[in-house]
Structure formats: structure tokens, C-alpha cells
Structure 1
Amino acid sequence: MAKQIKVIHCPHCGSIHKREIKPQVYQCQNCSTEYYLDSDDTHIYHHYEQPPLRPSSAPPGNNRLPIILLIGCIAGILIIYGVVVGFQPKKASTYTVSNFKLPRMYYDSFVYTNTLTGDPVYLRLGTDRAGKGNGAEELETHAQFNRVTDGKLLVDRVVTNETFGKKRCALSFKTYAPDLIYAIGCNTQLVQLDVEHNELKEVTQEVFKDFPQLSSGVARLDFDYSKAMINVMNNEGKSYFYFPTIHRLVETQAQAEEVWKMEFDRHFFEFGYLGGPFDENRDYQLIETTYARATGEVKRQNLTPGRKYFAPRILHQDEQDLLIVVNTTAAPNPPLTIQRLDVKTGEILWALPPDTYTLQNAVKCRQGFAIEYRRGPEADYVHGVLVVSPTGKIIQEYTLSRTE
């Protein structure tokens, strides 16, 4: 019977690579398994021996040793770093906290004389941004009082009044006497300037509390510039007339005229014209008016006949002194000059050199006269107060920049 020839595979790994170690006994060259064939080639017997493990060259030791060594190295590095940093000199911090604050924004001013010292004081109203915490801000109105002669800050007061303080209303001032100066704020509030203690006081209710006609409240206030009185309208729309120097309130214009005639002597100067309405040469005249309540007689005269004025106006007047401002020529926007005139003769006692500025108001003080001025864009809008001696010498110029 013919035999079928088959490829002999290793019974363990299946490799066909083998070597014969004795008759019909083979050893796999891949896995060293020994096997042989039985007589009829139907069975394969094999013997497998695992190769012995190679002994390690490293001695036996603790398996946690590498971890311990790693932790020790890290701890050592941290200790060395801490020692080095601790002994290094500390550098001064270059970080600074910014305390920047926006400058105060001024919106109104007035010069007056403190009646206790006789010195001129420059009052300015302005607003600050006041921090209220958590990044919140609100506008805070301040009344700042500076002595003109040296610029010293006398007092800086917060205006707490809800109306002209919060709304930042400009104040219009009027002087009724050296120690009685009123201002109107927001057209509804009467404010008194305390010329002794340098303070603004809201006095609307205090002044009008004696008049039942105004119990409904004040709707509007206006200064009357032809008489020493204040026009008052109550919240019911009814108009009245109040005379501050005698503390009297009347209801009609006729009553106001009667009080003005019976209670007040008058002596004042104004620029006008005494001629007829159809005269050809209607030039400005400096008119002196005198009224005596005892007799009811009115006298008017041209104090400076023959003198020509260009855009004149009264800057300050009282019984002893008269300051006027005139343009130097008839040209548009010419320089101005301030002149002091003799109240009896109209003679020019002195005149300041021509200059380009706007004059706000003037007041008499112990040094002479204090005159508030403002300059235009050619001088970067500087402003301040001139102090002029009785003889016409500028003895002090308190000057502030446009933002002051």
C-alpha cells in the first residue's frame, strides 16, 4: 500500500523547521519540542521542556525603593528652593495705586467783600465727582471761597440743597446793601450770601414765612433792576412784589410804586439821554438822578456834558465812588478802559490802561476796589480778580486758568 507523504509540523507551535536527534525523533528548532512518529504515521508524540529562566544580575531588593527615592528628591529640591528664595533680598514693589481725580468743573462766580475783615473774597461754584462705593459716582456741588489778596482757600463747602445743588443752577446775585446780598437759583430759590462767614444759605421759606399769600409755595423769583425789590409768583400763579430791605410784600404794581416813592430816597447814576426822542445826535450821557421822598422832588442832570462815550456802563456806584467801563474807540470789539469818576463833578480821577477782557462785577474793599474779569480765547480764557487801589494802581491780580 502506498504511503501518503505529509509535511510534518511541530505539534506544539506548528513550525516545520526541525532536526532529527535520533531515528524518527525530532526536535523543533523554533520551540525545542521533541516529537516522534509512530509506525503507521498516524500519531505524533511530543515532549516539551520550557527553557530555564536566566538569572537576574541585580540582587533582590525592596520594590518601594524607587518611589521613596523619587519622593526624597522632590522634597530635597523644594527645601533647597525655599532656603535660596528666603535669603534673597526683597525688591521694592513698583506697583502704585492711582489716586487720580478729575478736576472740579466751575460754572459760576462772584466777588464780594467780607464785612468782618474788609478783604475781597472770590466765590466760585463747581462740581466734583464724588465716589459712593462699588464704583458708583454722583455730582457734588461745592461753594469755594478764596481770599483775593493772596489766593488762600478760606472754606470749601458742599452745597446740600436739593434744588440748585443737584441741578447745578447758576446764581444771579444782587447787592441791596454791603451786608445784604441775595442770589436767585433755578428761578425758584432765594439764597443769601453770608458775607461774614463766607457761606451760601437757602432762605426762601425763612424770608417768606411771614406772608400767608405765599403759603402755597414759590413758583418763580426775579430781581427787579429798576427798583430795590424782587418779583415773586406763588404756586397759584399770583404775582407779588417784595422789598428786601424793609421786608414788605405788596400785591399790585401800583402798591409797589407807592412803596418805592414813600419809603426810599434815591441817588444813582445811569447812562441815557435827556434830550427829545427825535433829536439827531442822541449820544450817551452820564445822568445823575436824585429823589427825596420827603418832598417827592426828582432832579436829573448830565454830569459830564460834552463828553463822548462808546458803549459805556456802570461798573460800581455808591454815595462816594463811581466806576464806569467804556470802549476806547467806536470800532467793533475794541479794548476797554475802567475809569473812576468824581461823583460831584464827573471828573476822571484815574483810568486803567486799555485791555481786552469782560468785566463781571466790582465791589469796594479796604484795599480799594475788587473787579472780577474774564479774558477771551487769545488769553486762553483766564479769569480772576483785579485789586485796584483808590488812586488807580493795580496792587494785586488774582489770576486763574480756564479750568480753575
Structure 2
Amino acid sequence: MAKEIKAIQCPKCGSTQNVEIKPDYFKCLSCDTEYFLDNDDITINHNVNYQQAPQPAPIASPKLASLIIGAILIIFVLFVFLPTLFNKSSKSLSNVLDSSAYRWSDKDCIAYEDGTGMLIIAVMGHREFDNDEHDSRSGNFITFYNALNGKELKSQRLGQFPTKDLDKIKFRMFKNGEVYAIANESILFKVDKSNTQLQEVQPNFFTHHQELEAGIAHIESIGEEYGDGFKLMTNDGKSRFFFPIADSVYTEKAYYAAQNALEIKDARAKVNTYFLFSEHSDDFPDEKIKLMMYTQKDDKGGRNDRPFFQKKEYSDYNGVKHVTDFRQGSDLVISYKDLTPGRLYFAPKVLYGDEKYVLISFNAAAAEKSNTSVQCVSVPDGRIIFTRPFNGEQYFTDEAFRFKNGFVVKKPMSRCL
């Protein structure tokens, strides 16, 4: 019997967003349910399977895993999730982190593996203790935790700052694994992974470059997609870009000129794989957003740039029309492809990518506040490794971290601590 059906709804959640995994077999992109169509009566049958991934990471203690509000993390299949860290309004972590004794403010957190392979969560910010009228215990701290059991490994009180509080904290991990922290956009620290402590970067980190010898008045991290570097203002008013791995300094004009010349990078530079979602096309409004996998040369920790994928139509000098997949940056790209052809994405975001996996988030439908899922996709075949659906719309940063047993995914700090 011919099948006449316009929209296939998930039998569990009712979503029409699905992907066909083989003829007449579908996977719901909202709740991860698998279902198939019966050829005779168009019955939709379903099979729920949440164990598609390899063996899960070790589960934290039941006490820790049961804390939904104020938990350090919750561990899922191949997945570590940072929903809220020491939520101010919650006292539920008193037996794990003693959060009832103090409150965090103006903070950031980061995940990394130490030299032994232990997964660490570092939290840096201002910690204010209750019943501490003279601020004898309150102050600026960095605290290191074992991410899998919530145990505090070390808490380090930091020195004095120009202001009482650390009102701006930003961690950044470079491609070589080094972890930096910027405090109040004026002081640069580096995490000593071997000794689990924070160290202030010494002046000669910058001043061995003549252009930076006046010292640093202002520092901020540039976007990861533009390289492993910092934007600086020196004490004598110079604006510079500094890339520690490449140990190179640029004026603003030279930096943007270098970005424009990235297609002539050092021939010895390694070719790396990156991932981006294409952008909605005004010229082709029905064109689906695609998860693009592309290669370009890595500039050894120096300046970088990225393309923008957006299908568009243009005319050359002779009036001949052409169609391209790029809005800009095609000269940067060596090769590219749609990693998951036929998939439909709403509000998608790349959270992490490497030569084996890409981690993404997306909404189930175009409607506002629709359910968000986080999904791991295999590289280079685009196979779904696992999908973790959430109730309601969720927001994640692009600072996910892959460790030996899974991923750490971070929410914006406005929803943490």
C-alpha cells in the first residue's frame, strides 16, 4: 500500500523534526526516540534507546548526582554537564562543597585534565563568607575540584587587586593545553597543572618584546576562532595583539593585514579540521542550515581567521551569475563538506570539534523556547554518537572540553555559581 503521510510525528513527544536512519526508520531530533513505519497500516512504532554511545563515564556519588540545583556537575553518557555551580540561592551543597558557608560572585570556571589525567574544574572569583564582618575569611580565590566526585582539591587565596572584588574573570585554554585567567582585564595568570595552583604571569612574559616593554595596562583574550592570543593596551598607550605560542606581536593594522593574508601561511603549518554552521541565506531562504566541516592551515598558535558559510548569488564583471557557499573567507579554506546532509537544524551551535568528534547544540523546532539537545557527531562520517535532550530552551558556551571519558559542557556564567 502506498504511504500517504505529510508529517511524521514522534510517538513520544510529537515533534516532526526527525532524521531517516534507514528506509522507513526515523530518529526524533527532539527526544532521541527511534521509530519506524508499518507499511500496511502506517502504524508508527518506536524504540527508545539512550545507550547509543560507548560505555558511560563513571557516575559521581549518588549524593552529588542527585543535586539538581547547585550541583557541581551531572554526568551523562559520554557527557559531563555544568548546569549551575554553587548556586547562590541554594544551600544544598553543604555536605559536598560547604557552599552554605560562602557565596561566589564575579567568577568563571574551566575544565581541564592535570598531568595524571584527572578531570579538574577550576573556579575563580570573589568568595564572601557568612558572618565575616571584617572580611577576615572573604576574598579572591581560585578553587580546584575533582570533577567526577566534587571533592575540593585545593583552594588558593589570591593577592590584592586594584579593586576589592574580581569584577571581571575570564579563563582561556590555548591549543597547546595551557590555561590562562585574566582578572579585571589587567592581570594575567596561568594555571600550573602539575601543582594545581594559579601563578601570576611575570612581566618578562611580555616585556622581552620591545613594543611591550612599558608594561601592560589592559588585557583581554581574543576570540578562539581568531587565534591563541591577547589584545593589549600598553602603559604608554599602544594597542597590540600578542600571540604567546607563536611569540609574535602585531599592531592593529598589521594584525588585520596578516588575517587577510592567511591563505599564504607557512607551508609547513599543519592542516587542521574545523566546524561551523552555515548562516541563513537571504538569496536562498529555503536553504537549510548545514554543519560544515572544513580544513585550513593552522598558524602555529598565531593569528587566525575563519570563513563564513552562507549560500549566495553574485554577478561577475561580465554580468554572469554565480552561486557560492561562502559569504567571505573562501581563500582560507582548503576543502569543505556538509557533514550531516539532509539534517534540519534550528538555533544550532558548535560547542567542540576535533579530528574524531564534533559536539553541537540545537533546538527541536523553530518555535521560541523549544527543547534543546546536545549531540555528538562522528567525524568524518557524520554518524550520531549520542544525543542528550533537555526540557526547554538551553544556552551553552562554545567552551566545551573533551576529556578521556566524555565532554564537559559549560553554560553561561550568568546561570552558574
TM-score tier, shorter chain, comes to 0.5 to 0.7
Distance 1:222 1:320 in 2: 31
Displacement of 1:289 in angstroms is 1.9
Q: Which residue does the alignment assign to 1:256?
A: 258
Distance 1:193 1:156 in 2: 13
Q: Which residue does the alignment assign to 2:404?
A: 366
Provide, for residues 140-184 of structure 1, a one-character-per-residue CA deviation record: whole Å limited to 9, x for no partner: 1111111011111100100115247x3313322222125212232
**1:119 aligned onto 2:118:** yes
Distance 2:204 2:244 in 1: 12
Contact 1:217 1:235 in 2 (8 A): yes
Distance 2:128 2:182 in 1: 25
Displacement of 1:373 in angstroms is 4.5
Q: Which residue does the alignment assign to 2:233?
A: 233
Distance 1:237 1:108 in 2: 28
The residue type equivalent to 2:277 in the other structure is: F
Q: Which residue does the alignment assign to 2:31?
A: none
Identity level (%): 22
**1:221 aligned onto 2:219:** yes
Distance 2:200 2:193 in 1: 14
Distance 1:241 1:126 in 2: 26
What is the aligned-residue RMSD (CA, Å)? 3.4
Distance 2:401 2:333 in 1: 30
**1:347 aligned onto 2:383:** yes
Contact 1:269 1:288 in 2 (8 A): yes
Distance 2:202 2:233 in 1: 13
Contact 1:214 1:234 in 2 (8 A): yes
Secondary structure of 2:166's counterpart equals coil
What does 1:4-403 correspond to in 2, within 5 Å?
Answer: 103-129=102-128, 136-137=134-135, 139-163=138-162, 166-177=164-175, 179-203=177-201, 205-225=203-223, 226-228=225-227, 229-251=229-251, 252-254=254-256, 256-257=258-259, 258=261, 261-263=264-266, 264-265=269-270, 266-273=272-279, 278-292=283-297, 298-356=334-392, 357-360=394-397, 361-373=399-411
Moved more, 366-375 or 327-336: 366-375
| Residues 1:137 and 1:145: Cα distance change in structure 2 (over 3 Å) | same
Distance 1:303 1:282 in 2: 16
| Residues 1:214 and 1:338: Cα distance change in structure 2 (over 3 Å) | same
Secondary structure of 1:108's counterpart equals strand
Structure of greater Rg: 1
Secondary structure of 1:177's counterpart equals coil
Contact 1:179 1:195 in 2 (8 A): no
Contact 2:126 2:165 in 1 (8 A): no
Distance 1:177 1:281 in 2: 37
Contact 1:189 1:204 in 2 (8 A): no
Q: Which residue does the alignment assign to 1:52?
A: none
Distance 1:374 1:259 in 2: 31
Distance 1:261 1:107 in 2: 42
Distance 1:163 1:136 in 2: 19
Displacement of 1:308 in angstroms is 1.3
Provide, for residues 168-219 of structure 1, a one-character-per-residue CA deviation record: whole Å limited to 9, x for no partner: 1332222212521223222222222223322222216242021111122223
Distance 2:103 2:335 in 1: 50
| Residues 1:157 and 1:337: Cα distance change in structure 2 (over 3 Å) | same
Secondary structure of 2:265's counterpart equals helix
The residue type equivalent to 2:265 in the other structure is: M
The residue type equivalent to 2:170 in the other structure is: S
Displacement of 1:130 in angstroms is 7.5
Secondary structure of 2:208's counterpart equals coil
The residue type equivalent to 2:396 in the other structure is: L
Displacement of 1:241 in angstroms is 1.9
Secondary structure of 1:104's counterpart equals strand
| Residues 1:335 and 1:280: Cα distance change in structure 2 (over 3 Å) | closer
Displacement of 1:128 in angstroms is 4.0
5+ residue gaps in structure 1? Answer: 1-100, 384-401
Moved more, 209-218 or 257-266: 257-266
Contact 1:304 1:346 in 2 (8 A): yes
The residue type equivalent to 1:256 in the other structure is: A
The residue type equivalent to 1:253 in the other structure is: Y
Provide TM-score, normalisation by structure 2: 0.58
Contact 1:272 1:287 in 2 (8 A): yes
The residue type equivalent to 2:244 in the other structure is: P
Secondary structure of 1:359's counterpart equals coil
